[in-house]
Amino acid sequence: MNIVFINSIGRNKFGGGEKWMTNAAGNLARKGHHVILAGKKNSRILNYAAQQGIETAVIEIRSDISPLTTARIARWLKEHRTDILICNLNKDVRVAGLAARIAGTPVVLARHGMLLCSRKWKHKLTLTKLTDGIITNSRTIKDTYAGYGWFPADFVKVIYNGITIPTDVTPVDFSKRFPGKKIIYSAGRLSEQKGFIYLIEAASILLKKRNDLVFIVSGEGKLEEELKTAARERGIEQSFIFEGFSPDIFPQLKGCDLFVLASLFEGMPNVVMEAMAMARPVVATDVNGARELMEEGKTGLIVPPENPEALAAAILLLIDDEDRRKDFGQRGYQRVAEQFTMQKMTDRLEEHLQFKLGEQQSWR
């Protein structure tokens, strides 16, 4: 199959959706398919893909409607004899999806790692007319879309994210920097979605009562200064550390005592999967995908979003119980190793793409 992934996310942005696309593209290419990942020039996703040996192309999509860009993409898709186009953002569907229809590309799919479709008429028009299906990573998202009444039963396909568990990770020795401290770690874009303000509030609750905890966050984003100010205002800046962006967080995950996800919404939170793969116990908010990935009370604890008191209580419940943390960590590792491997994800994706291509070709 000739497969094109297109992701027009900002040049300096790289999150779970971008990681999924590069992983999917690379593994499908290794299975013998011709795969191209397209995005903005000098973007992180293209640079990362190139480092992984994935063929890349520069396609700039800047707005929801662009007749010239659509015409250029249509010619490009024809030249590359594209069988399947997989789009990331809604504007990718509107511009590149339309181009694929003009070019006669057999299959156009949208990939939704989180809820990207509301009940707005433009979403209905875009997805029902310009795509042949949606790939998502969470049954909760599929069920939400089913409630709209727009799509056939098999239009939305759930393919869980997968991970390649690294075997040679050297854990960060946090004890050198923070002797005698227990490390609570989190990672993600410093955006409202990730709920770090609630983690700061939870940390403030705990640090008023004890001085043996350090909270460390890897990530960057537009709220960085605002969040740092919030930590300073609460007097916890020495115990709530912002580490900046890290392309590989496995060493930090393996070296921490507990991982926390404070997000307000997600699709299937990759970072929780990565923490479980490093045998770390997890406290996570009850967002899309969390209960499908985790086992409540067995691999970690799930709390309501936007509730720092509940977050603090869950952290407190685990941070002093080393045996329980080890048990949760081992159960989490086993769950990922058995059900959320990259091999399983790629096999399911390949099977679905082949089915969709065969289905479309049989109608022609």
Domain boundaries, the chain: 2-161+342-363, 174-339
Does residue 363 carry a pLDDT above 70? no
Answer whether 2-161+342-363 and 174-339 agree in fold. Answer: yes
- Rounded CA gap, 269 and 260, in Å? 11
CB 141 within 8 A of CB 291: no
For residue 362, what pLDDT band results from cuts at 50, 70 and 90? low
Of 321, 325, 236, whose CA–CA distance to 280 is shortest? 325
What is the model's pTM? 0.83
The whole-chain average pLDDT of the chain stands at 94
Does residue 129 carry a pLDDT above 90? yes
CB 75 within 8 A of CB 96: no
Buried b (16+ CB within 10 A) or exposed e, 64-90: eebeebbeebbebbeebebbbbbbbbb
Of 193, 55, 199, whose CA–CA distance to 113 is shortest? 193
Q: What are the pLDDT digits (tens) for 73-122?
A: 999 999 999 999 999 999 999 999 999 999 999 999 999 987 788 888 88
**Angle, CA of 105, 111 and 114, to the nearest 5°:** 160
Q: What are the pLDDT digits (tens) for 280-307?
A: 999 999 998 899 999 999 999 999 999 9
CATH match of 174-339 with 3.40.50.1370: no
| Sign of the C-alpha dihedral computed for residues 227, 232, 235 and 239 taken in this order | positive
Of 147, 156, 102, 110, whose CA–CA distance to 131 is shortest? 110
Rounded (10°) angle between helices 342-363 and 16-30: 80
**Fold designation for 2-161+342-363:** Rossmann fold (3.40.50)
- Rounded CA gap, 219 and 249, in Å? 10
